[in-house]
Amino acid sequence: MVREVRENRSSFYKVKCPDCDNEQMIFSKASTTVKCIVCGRELAVPTGGKANLKAEIISESK
């Protein structure tokens, strides 16, 4: 019997806000707009799949 191995296609990103240099974790497939908790700038906008990131990615964890 053949089993299909399904890899996790989503991950968390540690991003850096371009305005205030705050670092925070966001989900790669965010379903709502993600804003910086310090200054309020949009960091990610949902697109129906992976979110459109507007911040610099520092690291990725799966």
CA–CA distance, 57 with 17 (Å, rounded to integer): 9
**Contacts of 44 by beta carbon, 8 Å cutoff, 6+ apart:** 15, 26, 30, 33, 34, 51, 52, 53, 54, 55
2 part of a folded domain: no
CATH number, residue 54: 2.20.25.100
The mean predicted confidence, pLDDT, of the chain is 91
CA–CA distance, 9 with 20 (Å, rounded to integer): 30
39 part of a folded domain: yes
Range of the domain at 23: 12-61
3 part of a folded domain: no
1-57 pLDDT, tens digit each? 667 777 778 899 999 999 999 999 999 999 999 999 999 999 999 999 999 999 999
4 part of a folded domain: no
38 part of a folded domain: yes
Provide the domain count of the chain: 1
